[in-house]
Amino acid sequence: MKTEYEILIKTSENDNVGIVINPAGIKTGSVTQNGIELNEFVPMGHKVALTDLKEGDAVIRYGQTIGYASKTISLGSWVNETNITLPEPPKLDLITIKENHLPEPEKLEGYTFEGYVNADGTVGTKNVLAITTSVQCVSGMVDFVVKRIKSELLPNFPNVDDVVGLNHTYGCGVAINAPTAIVPIRTIQNITKNPNFGGEVMVIGLGCEKLRPEVLVPENGEESDILYLQDPKFKGFSEMVEGALNLAEKHLRKLNARKRSVCPASELVVGMQCGGSDAFSGITANPVAGYASDLIVRAGGSVFFSEVTEVRDAVHLLMPRTASEQVGKDLLNEMEWYDAYLETGKVDRSENTSPGNKKGGLSTIVEKSLGSIAKSGTSPIVGVIPPGERIKKKGLHFAATPAGDFVCGTLQLAAGMNVHIFMTGRGTPYGLSMVPVIKVSSNTELSNRWHDLIDFDAGRVATGNATVEELGWELFHLILEVASGKTKVACDQLGIHNDLVLFNPGPLT
């Protein structure tokens, strides 16, 4: 008679905990493939002790210490945030910065997509009219105008995919000259340069705001691209709206002339981001995205991974991959800046791990970070992008952003991404209207349950139905299809898109 065993996953030979892959969890008294009998129920994604742990013993996953036992944990017990404590983060001043002599990634040639080539040499994957704002006061007007443009004008311009309002909560009532004010200002400026807008950005301002609308016009734009609601020529609301529609029509004509053409994969700029992560994220979705990241870099393209607090506890593992001493210094500088930022707010990195993360099996921010960096793949890190800045060269970059989904996505948009990869284990309807967002699930249970919200199931790695390499190639091909407009992502099909959220570390006045 064949005995049925429950399967636990180890992420390295040195791990002393295993991850439950059964969607129903593992019942008390069940026996695992390595002969361990569970002495309590353990849910899917959570950790089982593979040995007896005394108080103070290291809990090891990914071959690294993710915490210390806060009390005795017996073999076969559930290991979670209630019985482990958080280790200290790596001390930044003790991390060695050196010149790493890294081999050039093997070139990958012959891969293309159909994109929109812009005058500045960038390539878009969508053709979108963007209406940016200089101050939150005009957001209601912009929303009203966008609806009118979509219903009255857009049908006349079939080559234009969408019209979006780049609303935000900045522009006035802020310390505009504070040192950290540069972050939201350059973010707004650089969003207008996103390749999916083709340089055709119009600005709606009020007129009396601190953030002057003139500084938001793209380099190839004109002051006539700005509409000031306080302009004396407008007699009432209807004339303001008519003025906005006339300005939009001018830009729509230019955008409608854009055509897709065959572009090398080296023109991809892909942002990698996690949201609603679980314990499978670091086993399936992130490694698969990391493999695809390596393929993009090998093809000459660009990728950035982000989220400072989800890198901070694993930054020492990234240092051997920095392409120069300067990149290493820049990486540590961003970690140090964010440490100080958190300290100012009287919080620390442990605030990152959400209730959903913990319910999904991520007990500490260290465990989360070790899984998070897997989406960076193995390529050399050639640059660090401060918050709100724009990518300047090809290759793998760390874009320094907070870990909040919407702030991170906004900053990656400003950095110049033309495709977004979003990994999730718990599930989120997150989407952006400005760039296609490919949603990757870390477990098949979520993919099946959210069959019309998830674009790619990476959970097949955990169930043994596919390898990271196989799915990495599959995701790479999907990226090319989506970038070409041949495959429409779920959030675009459903019309589910989130607002942009600026990172403003400066004071309000």
CA distance 282 to 425: 10
Pairing of strands 64-69, 162-166: unpaired
Q: Helix %, strand %, coil % for the chain, to 5?
A: 35, 20, 45
Q: Count Cβ atoms below 10 Å from residue 56 Cβ, excluding itself.
A: 10
Please state, as a whole number, how many other Cβ atoms lie within 10 Å of the Cβ of residue 33: 10
Distance CA 179, CA 176 (A): 9
Residue 470 parent element (H or E): helix 468-483
What is the reported pLDDT for 221?
63
Locate 263 and state its tokens. 């572009």
Backbone angles phi, psi at 203, to 5 degrees: -120, 130
End-to-end CA distance of the chain: 75
Do the strands 128-133 and 78-79 form a parallel or antiparallel pair, or are they unpaired? unpaired
User: What torsion do the CA atoms of 147, 427, 63, 320 make, to the nearest 10 degrees?
Assistant: -10
Cα 122–120–192 angle (5° rounding)? Answer: 75
Residue at 145: amino acid letter? V
pLDDT tens over the chain, length 509 residues = 345 789 999 999 999 999 999 999 999 999 999 899 999 999 999 999 999 999 999 999 999 999 999 999 999 999 999 999 999 999 999 999 999 989 989 999 999 999 999 999 999 999 999 999 999 999 999 999 999 999 999 999 999 999 999 999 999 999 999 999 999 999 999 999 999 999 999 999 999 999 999 989 877 666 778 999 999 999 999 999 999 999 999 999 999 999 999 999 999 999 999 999 999 999 999 999 999 999 999 999 999 999 999 999 999 999 999 999 999 999 999 999 999 999 998 988 888 889 999 999 999 999 999 999 999 999 999 999 999 999 999 999 999 999 999 999 999 999 999 999 999 999 999 999 999 999 999 999 999 999 999 999 999 999 999 999 999 999 999 999 999 999 999 999 999 999 999 999 988 88
pLDDT at 181: 94
pLDDT of the residue at 1: 36
Bridge partners (DSSP) listed for residue 508:
174
Q: What is the pLDDT of residue 506?
A: 85
Token duo for residue 473? 């190639």
pLDDT of residue 315: 97
* Residues facing 110 on adjacent strands: none
Strand 8-9 to strand 17-20: parallel, antiparallel, or no bridges (unpaired)? antiparallel
Question: CB-based contacts of 343: which residues, under 8 Å, 6+ apart?
Answer: none
The two structure tokens encoding residue 96: 């060695």
